[in-house]
C-alpha cells in the first residue's frame, strides 16, 4: 500500500511538472519578439492583406488569452464571447491532438519535422549511450577491484579528463583526426549523390557516418560512468558481507557477480536514466559539429531563423524527455532497492 502511494505521488508530480512546462512553453515564446507578421510589416513588398493572411495562417490574429491581445508588449483588447477562441486554448487543444503548430520557415507541421530529427538523434545517442554504459561499468568494476594500483590511477585521470573535456573541442579534434587518418566522412548522415544497391549498403554507409559522433558521445559519458561505478563499488567492497564472502573462499567473479554488482548498480541506474533525458538536449553540440540531421541541429537552425513554433515544439519535447527520464529513474531505483518500498 505504501509503495502504491509512493508510485502515485511520483507520477502525480511528473504530471504537474508537465503542466507547468506547457504553461511556460506557451507564454515564454509569446514574450519573445519576432512573429512572421511583424517581420512582414518591415517588408515593403507585402501588402496589408498579405500580412493579415500571415496572421490568420499562424493564429496570430487572435488574442493570447481573453481580453489580452499580446503579452509583449502587454496590452488589453476586446473580450471575446467565446474565450476558447484564443491562442492559449487553441494551443492546449492542439497539444491534446498531438499537434505542435506550423513552422514559420518551412510552413510544415512541427510534429513532422521533430519526428524526422528525433529518430536520427535517438539512433546516434542510443549507440553512444550503450557503448559508454557497457565500457564504463565494466571498467569501473575492474579499477575498483584493482584499487590503488597504477592502472587505477591512470584510469581515474582518464575518466576525469573525458568527463570534463568540452563537447565542441572533443568533437572538432575527432573530426580532424578521423577524416585525415581514416578517411571517415566529415559530416552528415549518408553520402549524398550515391545510389545504394541494397539496404545493407545504405546502413553500412550510415554506420561510417556515425563512427565519429558516436565515439564523441562514448568518450564524453564513459568517464562519468566509470568514476561513479568505481566509487560505488569501492563502498560495497568495504562492507562486512564482502569480507565474509572472501573468507569463505569465493572466487573474484562470484563475489562481484553475486554480492557486489547489484548493490553497486543502484546509483548508476539513476544516473543512466537521467542522462538519457539530458543527452537529447546535449545532442545540439555534437550534431552541430558533425552536421548530423537530428533534433539538435534542427533546434540550432530554428534559433537562427526565429522559428518560434519549432523552438516551442523542441523545448516541449526535450522537457518531457527529461521529466520522464527522471520518473523512470526514481521508479527503477525504488524497484531495485526494497528499502524505499517499505518507507
Q: Is the preceding peptide bond at 73 cis, omega within 30 degrees of 0? A: yes
Question: Bigger pLDDT: 69 or 111?
Answer: 111
- Predicted confidence (pLDDT) at residue 135 exceeds the cutoff of 90: yes
Taking each helix axis from N to C terminus, what angle separates 87-96 and 2-31, rounded to the nearest 10 degrees?
130
C-alpha cell at 270: 539513476
CA nearest neighbour of 232 among 182, 202, 266, 191: 266
1 has a pLDDT exceeding 60:
no
Backbone φ and ψ of 65, nearest 5°? -135, 170
CA-to-CA separations, 263 to 146, 221, 255, 258, 332, in angstroms, rounded: 19, 21, 12, 10, 13
Mind listing the domains of the chain with CATH numbers?
111-341 (1.10.3720.10)
Q: What is the pLDDT of residue 340?
A: 60
What is the DSSP code string of 151-209? Answer: HHHHHHHHHHHHHHS-HHHHHHHHHHHHHHHH---SSSSS-TT---SSHHHHHHHHHHH
With a cut of 80, say whether residue 157 has pLDDT above it: yes
Q: What is the pLDDT of residue 325?
A: 80
Percent of the chain with pLDDT over 90: 10
Phi first, then psi: what are they for 342, rounded to 5°? -105, -5
Q: Over the chain, what is the mean pLDDT? A: 80
Q: How confident is the model at residue 321, as a pLDDT?
A: 82
Amino acid at each position: 500500500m505504501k509503495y502504491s502511494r509512493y508510485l502515485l505521488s511520483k507520477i502525480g508530480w511528473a504530471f504537474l511538472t508537465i503542466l507547468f512546462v506547457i504553461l511556460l512553453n506557451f507564454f515564454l515564446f509569446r514574450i519573445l519578439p519576432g512573429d512572421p507578421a511583424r517581420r512582414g510589416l518591415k517588408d515593403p513588398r507585402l501588402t496589408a492583406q498579405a500580412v493579415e493572411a500571415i496572421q490568420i495562417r499562424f493564429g496570430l490574429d487572435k488574442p493570447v488569452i481573453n481580453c489580452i491581445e499580446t503579452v509583449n508588449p502587454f496590452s488589453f483588447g476586446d473580450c471575446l464571447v467565446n474565450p476558447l477562441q484564443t491562442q492559449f486554448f487553441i494551443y492546449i487543444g492542439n497539444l491534446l491532438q498531438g499537434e505542435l503548430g506550423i513552422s514559420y520557415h518551412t510552413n510544415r507541421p512541427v510534429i513532422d519535422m521533430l519526428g524526422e530529427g528525433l529518430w536520427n538523434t535517438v539512433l546516434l545517442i542510443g549507440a553512444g549511450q550503450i557503448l559508454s554504459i557497457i565500457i564504463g561499468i565494466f571498467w569501473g568494476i575492474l579499477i575498483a577491484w584493482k584499487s590503488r594500483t597504477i592502472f587505477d590511477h591512470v584510469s581515474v585521470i582518464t575518466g576525469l579528463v573525458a568527463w570534463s573535456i568540452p563537447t565542441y573541442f572533443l568533437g572538432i579534434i575527432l573530426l580532424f583526426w578521423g577524416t585525415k587518418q581514416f578517411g571517415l566522412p566529415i559530416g552528415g548522415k549518408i553520402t549524398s549523390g550515391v545510389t545504394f544497391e541494397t539496404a545493407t549498403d545504405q546502413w553500412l554507409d550510415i554506420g561510417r557516418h556515425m563512427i565519429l559522433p558516436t565515439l564523441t558521445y562514448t568518450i564524453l559519458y564513459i568517464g562519468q560512468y566509470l568514476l561513479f561505478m568505481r566509487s560505488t563499488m569501492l563502498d560495497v567492497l568495504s562492507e562486512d558481507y564482502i569480507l565474509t564472502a572472501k573468507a569463505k573462499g569465493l572466487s573474484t567473479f562470484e563475489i562481484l557477480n553475486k554480492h557486489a554488482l547489484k548493490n553497486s548498480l543502484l546509483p548508476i541506474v539513476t544516473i543512466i536514466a537521467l542522462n538519457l533525458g539530458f543527452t537529447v538536449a546535449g545532442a545540439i553540440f555534437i550534431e552541430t559539429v558533425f552536421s548530423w540531421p537530428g533534433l539538435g541541429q534542427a533546434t540550432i537552425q530554428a534559433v537562427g531563423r526565429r522559428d518560434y513554433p519549432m523552438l516551442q515544439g523542441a523545448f516541449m519535447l526535450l522537457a518531457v524527455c527529461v521529466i520522464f527520464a527522471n520518473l523512470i529513474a526514481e521508479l527503477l531505483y525504488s524497484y531495485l532497492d526494497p528499502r524505499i518500498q517499505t518507507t
